[in-house]
Amino acid sequence: MQTSWLRHKGWTYGFRTTVLLYFVILIVLPIAGVYVYSFSEGWGPFWENVSDPIAWKAVLLTLGLALIATLINVLLGTMIAWVLVRYRFPGRTVLNSLVDLPFALPTAVGGLMILLLLGPNSWVGGVAERLGFDIVFHQPAIVIAMVFVTFPFVIRAIQPLLEEMDASAEEASYTLGASRAATFFRVILPQILPGIAGGAMLAFSRALAEFGAVVLVAGNIPAKTLTASVFIYGEVESDNNLGAAAVSVLLLTLSLVLLWFINRVQRRGGRE
Amino acid sequence: MRSRDRRTEVESVEHARRPGKPNKGFALIAAIALLGTLLSGCGTPESSADDSGGTAPKGDVTLVIGAYSVVKDSVQDIIPLFQKKWKEETGQTVTFQESYEASGTQARAIVGGFEADVALLSLEGDIDKLTKAKLVDKDWKDKPDGGMITRSVVAIGTREGNPLGIKNFADLAKPGVKVLYPNPKTSGGAQWDINAIYGAGLKESERETGQKDPAFAKAFLESVHANIESLDKSGRASMAAFEYGVGDALVTYENELLTRNKQGGKYEVIVPDDTILIENPAAVVDANVDKHGTREVAEAFVDFLWSQQAQKVFAENGFRPVNDAVYKEFASDYPVPPGLFDIKYLGGWKEVRESLYSKRGVWYQVLAGI
C-alpha cells in the first residue's frame, strides 16, 4: 500500500507523546508548580497565609456566592435547555447560538455591561436604590457576574441528553396516568440529572475562579465583597507571591476535589 | 439507561477507529504546529526591539517605553516633539514602542524580561524594584528634581456642585458619605491616596498635641475607611465606578480628575488643605539600553522630559510641572495647598513601606478591622 508509512507504529507513539507532553506542559506543570511554590517555605508560612482572616473570609465568601450562582444557573439552565430542545419557535436557532456568547466575550466586557445596565444611573439600578438595596459593588453584582460567565455550562450539558432522550418512556408514563409533574420528576429528571450535576460542577468551579467581571462590579471590601480571585490578584500586585499561591492552592484543591467528584457522578450515571 | 448506552456505543466506535491513519497524521501535524507557535511566541516582541536597537548608530533607532497608564496621553504628545528634535540634531529617525500598564505591573514586567529602555512609573518604589533587579543604576536620582518628572497632589473628586460640601479628608468620615479609592494592595499608585489620608491625620494630631501621633492617624484612616463603598483595582477603575454613578466622593490624583474634566466630566476637584505632594519618576533602564545600544537616545529622551516643551505638555494634561518657569505659567491652575506635605513628612518611602504597607502593617490592620 502506498499509505503504508501512515500505518507506521511511530505515529501512534508520536501522537501519544505529543498529547501527554501537552498535558504535562500546559496543565500538570503549572498546577504542580503552584503547590510546590506555596509549600516552598514549609507549613508555617503556608498556614499563616491561609489563616489570615482576610484570606479565608474571601475564600468562604467566594464559595457561598459561587454556590448561589450555580443554583441559579441550574434552575435557569434547565429551563432554557428544555425550551430550546422541546419547543419550536422562530428565532430558536439564533437563541441557541447566543447561549455560548458569554464564553466568547472577554469577561471584563461582561462586567462593564453589568455596570452600565445595573449601575445607579441605570433604570434597574435606580429602582433598586429606591427600594433600598444596592446591586453594583455589592454581593448581588458578584452573583450576576458569576451567573453570566458560567451561563452556558448547564445548558450545554443538558441539551444532548434531552435530545437523545427516548420519547417512549415519557409516553408510557403519560399512558399509565402519571401527571406532568410526576413524569418530569420521575422519568425525565433522572435522565438529565448527570448532565445537571456535571454542568453545575463545571459552573461552580469556574465561578470560584472568575476574576475579570467580578473585579469590576465588586466593591472588593474584605469579608463583604472581596472574592478569592481578587484577593489573589492583590497579593501578587503587592509582591506577596507566597500568599497568592497559598490561597490558590486552597481554591485548586477545592476544584480538584469537585472535578473528581463530577467524574465519579458521571461514571456512576453511566453504569446505571 | 438507553441514552447512556448510546453514548458508550459512540465511544467504542471511536475506539475502533483509532488505528485509522489520516486523522491521526493531521492531528499530529496540528499539534506540532501549535506547540511550535507556543514556544516561539514568547520571545518575538522583544527580539524585534533587539534588532533595531543593535544596528549601527547612524541608522534608525527604536526606543521601548514602559510607562504607567495615567501618563499615556502626555507621553504620546511628547513623542512627536522629541522625534522632531532628535531628527534635527542627529538625522536619525526614532521609532517608539510603547507599553502602558499599572505602575506596579509595568515594573514587574520589566523585571520579568520586558526590555524597556525607558521607564516612567508612578512612584519611586517601583523604580526601586528595577534597581533591586540591577536593571537601573543606583544613581538614577542624580537627575534634576531627584529623577522626578511630574508632580501632582492627592485630591477629592465630588459630584457637580459638591452637594455634600466636602472640603477635606475629615469630611469623608461623616456619616452617609460614600467614598471610593483604589486598594494599595492591587494598585501601587493608590499608596499615594492612603498616604495622603494617613498624613492628614498626622497633621491633625500635630496641630492638636504638638507632635505626630501614629495612633491618631490610624484612627483617622479607619474613620474614612468606614465609609468605603468600593476598593477598586486601580485609580482608573475608581474613576470609572464614579462615572457610573457610584459613590459621593473619590480620592485620587488631581491630574486624573483634571483629565476627566477636560474630556467632559463635571466633577469638582477639591484639593484639601492637608494633602500629599505626589512625585512621579522616570529613569533609563541601564541594562536594557546597553544591550540594545540605545543609551544615547534613551538618555536624551529622559532629559527631554525636563525640557520646557515637555513640561508644558505635562501641565496641559493635568500634572504639576517640576520646571519652575512652566509652573509659574500655570500657577493659577495649580494652587499650593497650605498644609501640603511630601513623603518625607511620613518618614520617607522606606519607613512608609514598613509601617503602612508591610504584611501586618497599618493598612492591613485597617482592612481587616483589627
Note whether B8 contacts A: Cβ–Cβ < 8 A.
Answer: yes
- B155 pairs with which residues across the strands? B252
Per-residue cell: B330: 500655570
**Which among B7, B233, B248 is the top mutation candidate for probing chain A, defined by the most A β-carbons within 10 Å of its own β-carbon?**
B233
Per-residue cell: B313: 505638555
Q: Print the domain residue range for B27.
A: 3-150+280-332
Q: How many domains does chain B have?
A: 2
Specify whether B310 is located in the same domain as B352: no
Return the SS3 of A138.
Answer: coil
Q: What is the pLDDT of residue B94?
A: 93
Note whether B132 contacts A: Cβ–Cβ < 8 A.
Answer: no
Specify whether B11 is located in the same domain as B146: yes
- The CA distance from A3 to B54, in Å, is 50
Per-residue cell: B223: 474613620
ipTM above 0.85, yes or no: no
DSSP secondary structure string, B215-228? HHHHHHHHHHHTTE
The alpha-carbon gap from A8 to the nearest alpha carbon of chain B, in Å, equals 9
Q: What is the pLDDT of residue B58?
A: 60
Provide the sign of the torsion angle of the four alpha carbons B301, B305, B306, B308, taken in this order. Answer: positive
Return the SS3 of B126.
Answer: helix
Q: One-letter amino acid identity for B111?
A: V
Specify whether B155 is located in the same domain as B216: yes
All residues of chain A having their beta carbon less than 8 Å from the beta carbon of residue B229 are 137, 219
Q: What is the pLDDT of residue B43?
A: 37
Specify whether B145 is located in the same domain as B13: yes
Q: Under an 8 A CB cutoff, do B21 and A11 touch?
A: yes
- CB-count burial class (<10 Å; 0-12, 13-18, 19+) for A168: exposed
Specify whether B8 is located in the same domain as B131: yes
Chain A / chain B CB contacts < 8 angstroms = 112
Q: What distance separates the 2 farthest-apart alpha carbons in chain A?
A: 79
Per-residue cell: B118: 525607558
Q: What is the pLDDT along chain A (272 residues), one digit of tens a residue?
A: 556 777 777 788 888 889 999 989 998 998 899 999 998 888 888 998 888 889 999 999 999 999 999 999 999 999 999 999 988 989 899 999 999 888 888 988 988 888 888 888 888 888 888 887 888 888 999 999 999 999 999 999 999 999 988 888 888 988 998 888 898 888 889 889 889 988 998 999 899 989 989 988 888 888 889 999 999 998 888 888 898 999 999 988 988 888 888 778 777 765 54
Specify whether B28 is located in the same domain as B169: no
Q: What is the pLDDT of residue B249?
A: 95
Q: Under an 8 A CB cutoff, do B230 and A221 touch?
A: yes
- The CA distance from B120 to A53, in Å, is 36
Specify whether B35 is located in the same domain as B104: yes
Select from A147, A78, A76 the least CA-distant residue to A111.
A147
- The CA distance from B95 to A134, in Å, is 49
The rounded average pLDDT for each run of 10 residues, N- to C-terminus, in chain B (370 residues) is 39 38 44 44 38 52 92 94 94 93 89 94 91 93 91 95 94 94 86 95 93 94 94 86 90 92 91 95 94 93 95 94 93 92 93 89 89
Q: What is the pLDDT of residue B164?
A: 94
Q: Under an 8 A CB cutoff, do B230 and A137 touch?
A: yes
Task: Label residues A241-252 b or e (16+ Cβ within 10 Å = b).
Answer: ebbbbbbbbbbb
Specify whether B218 is located in the same domain as B124: no
Closest-CA residue of A relative to B364 is A54
The alpha-carbon gap from A205 to the nearest alpha carbon of chain B, in Å, equals 23
> DSSP alpha helices (H): ranges in B120-189?
124-132
Specify whether B210 is located in the same domain as B96: no
All residues of chain A having their beta carbon less than 8 Å from the beta carbon of residue B364 are 54
**Contact of B107 with B130, CB cutoff 8 Å:** yes
**Which among B246, B356, B359, B363 is the top mutation candidate for probing chain A, defined by the most A β-carbons within 10 Å of its own β-carbon?**
B246
Note whether A212 contacts B: Cβ–Cβ < 8 A.
Answer: no
Interacting residues of B241 by C-beta distance below 8 A, sequence separation 6+: A115, A137, B180, B230, B232, B247, B250
Note whether A167 contacts B: Cβ–Cβ < 8 A.
Answer: no
Q: Under an 8 A CB cutoff, do A238 and B184 touch?
A: yes
Q: What is the pLDDT of residue A42?
A: 85
Specify whether B125 is located in the same domain as B142: yes
Tell the residue number behind the cell numbers 427600594, with chain if given: A131
Note whether B111 contacts A: Cβ–Cβ < 8 A.
Answer: no
Specify whether B253 is located in the same domain as B209: yes
The alpha-carbon gap from B4 to the nearest alpha carbon of chain A, in Å, equals 6
All residues of chain B having their beta carbon less than 8 Å from the beta carbon of residue A115 are 240-241, 244
Tell the residue number behind the cell numbers 506555596, with chain if given: A38
Specify whether B15 is located in the same domain as B97: yes
**Which among A137, A139, A193, A265 is the top mutation candidate for probing chain B, defined by the most B β-carbons within 10 Å of its own β-carbon?**
A137
Q: One-letter amino acid identity for A155?
A: I
Q: What is the pLDDT of residue B236?
A: 83
Q: What is the DSSP letter of B182?
A: E
All residues of chain A having their beta carbon less than 8 Å from the beta carbon of residue B106 are none
Q: What is the pLDDT of residue A3?
A: 67
CATH value at residue B323: 3.40.190.10
Q: What is the pLDDT of residue A83?
A: 92
Give the closest of B27, B241, B244 to A15, CB-based. Answer: B27
Note whether A211 contacts B: Cβ–Cβ < 8 A.
Answer: no
Rounding to the nearest 10 degrees, give the CA dihedral for residues B225, B231, B233, B236: -80
Select from B236, B161, B177 the least CA-distant residue to B169.
B177
All residues of chain A having their beta carbon less than 8 Å from the beta carbon of residue B246 are 119-120, 136-137
Q: What is the pLDDT of residue B265?
A: 87
